[in-house]
Amino acid sequence: MKLNETETEYCVIPEEELSLSGEAMAELLQASLDRNAPFKFKARGFSMSPFIKNGDVVTISPLLDYSIGFGKLAAFIHPQTGKLVIHRIVGQNGNRYLIKGDRSTEADGLIPRKNILGAVTRVERGDRKVRIGMGLERYIIVFLSRTRILSCLAWIWKKIISFSSGV
């Protein structure tokens, strides 16, 4: 497919539910990124909430175009589980990155650079783009996440919401 300067070729998982194993999703993502094409799919899970929520559409772009580093969101293969994970980089030691979910209490550990497949470049919720957590505020989020304050705040917020809705 030939694209003009303003078009981008994407690999997109269809709207209807398509259940893929983490391994199959990682293979599709890698194939798309190998072609230098961004990959869009619906995120599953709550470890990045409230910045990425269950069902948000996430775009992963090849690392050729985007740097990874402190506060950025990275898609990687977890070395112990082999699963595709999207979490935030909260530290670096040489060519290994300390990565952690914003809502997780524990870090994923030091992830080798070779396990990082791409960078999160867009998050969409419904018909709008989610911007919070992707800009300069990511440095504050990293601090709150590393000190576990963010997971505590998320827990408190969840309790307030459930109390106010009478659940």
Distances (CA, A) of 31 to 14, 22, 122, 166: 17, 14, 19, 47
Tokens representing residue 81 in the block:
């589980």
| 11-164 maps to CATH 1.10.357.140 | no
The predicted model gives 144-155 an average pLDDT of 75
pLDDT bucket at 141, cuts 50 / 70 / 90:
confident
- Tens of pLDDT along 85-134? 999 999 999 999 999 998 888 899 999 988 899 999 999 999 888 877 77
- HEC string of the chain? CCCCCCCCCCEECCCCCCCCCHHHHHHHHHHHHHCCCCEEEECCCCCCCCCCCCCCEEEEEECCCCCCCCCCEEEEECCCCCCEEEEEEEEEECCEEEEECCCCCCCCEEEEHHHEEEEEEEEEECCEEECCCCCCCHHHHHHHHHCCHHHHHHHHHHHHHHHHCCC
Q: Where are the domains of the chain?
A: 11-164
Q: Which pLDDT value is given to residue 16? A: 56
On the question of pLDDT at 7 being above 60, the answer is no
pLDDT of residue 11: 55
Q: In the predicted model, is pLDDT for residue 3 greater than 70?
A: no
pLDDT surpassing 60 at residue 167: no
Binned at pLDDT 50, 70 and 90, residue 1 comes out as: very low
